[in-house]
Amino acid sequence: MQTITLSNGIKMPILGFGVYQIADLEECERVVSEAIEVGYRSIDTAQAYGNEEAVGNAVRKSGVPREVFFITTKVWISNAGYEKAKASIDESLRLLQTDYIDLMLIHQPFNDYYGTYRAMEEYYKAGKIKAIGVSNFYPDRFIDIAQFSEITPMVNQIETHVFNQQKQAQKIIDKYGTQIESWGPFAEGRNDFFTNEILKEIGEQYGKSVAQVALRYLIQRNVVVIPKTVSKERMIQNFDVFNFALTNEDMDKIAKLDQEQSLFFSHYDPETVEFLTGLGK
């Protein structure tokens, strides 16, 4: 598996497996177990997903040594603040059935995320978290926390796919030595993603699917990807993206698909902010 090296020297797989919206614990454990069988070693979960325990069960039962895995989870808005965040990290460790978390992120830039980050820094120094970062932090909030934290975030996980490529955000993130990570690399199928003619045409040249081309594009831009699926066949397909390379011409064609805006929500929209902060109460 190809890896990237975070600013503190920790190696992170460039391809992982996401478990967003797999709330049923039995199904999630099955799906993660299948992903591990396929070869995935990076698993991305979150407190808000309600499936940390299932991830922990699958990892424990796999027979694969814990140190081979790269497990990511995230502190939810309702657990923001120094004391609450510490308690929530302890709970995540318990549910994941592990002595340490490879990567801990602040899930959303709301509530007392500075207090949350201080708690994460403390656990990082104690060795209970191997790397820390943020998620959904747009450039303005990312710069803010990067400038005023003792430890610069090592990862920023943001919506990144062919229709919202985050080129400017990536430049800013790179400036601080932070790794960009994509959530929603398939745009959850929006904008007719899986039937896009340009992606199909490029894929046909290599005997690859639209999904594989989209993942390959992000990987060649040094973006970490965590595609989610409950189909083992698709897990295998998504994993099979390291035996071909897109040409500069291919990359240029895909670059032109960028609409430079979210297909989901904007943190600059007051209604969205009210909705998300409401979830944190």
Q: Which of 40, 49, 124, 217 is catalytic?
A: 49
Q: 278: buried, middle or exposed (CB in 10 Å: 19+, 13-18, 0-12)?
A: exposed
- Report helix angle 139-148 to 167-175, nearest 10: 10
Q: 145: buried, middle or exposed (CB in 10 Å: 19+, 13-18, 0-12)?
A: buried
Residue 247 CB coordination number (10 Å): 10
Q: What angle do CA 196, 200, 201 make, to 5 degrees?
A: 120
Q: Which long-range contacts (CB under 8 A, 24 or more apart) does 120-124 make?
A: 120/75, 120/85, 120/89, 121/149, 121/150, 121/151, 122/86, 123/86, 123/89, 124/151
**Closest to 92 (Cα-Cα) out of 42, 24, 21, 44:** 44
49 carries an active-site annotation: yes
Rounded CA separation 171/131 (Å): 21
Strands 155-159 and 179-183: parallel
Q: Which residues, 6+ apart, have CB-to-CB distance to 270 below 8 Å?
A: none
Rounded CA separation 185/18 (Å): 11
Catalytic residues: 49
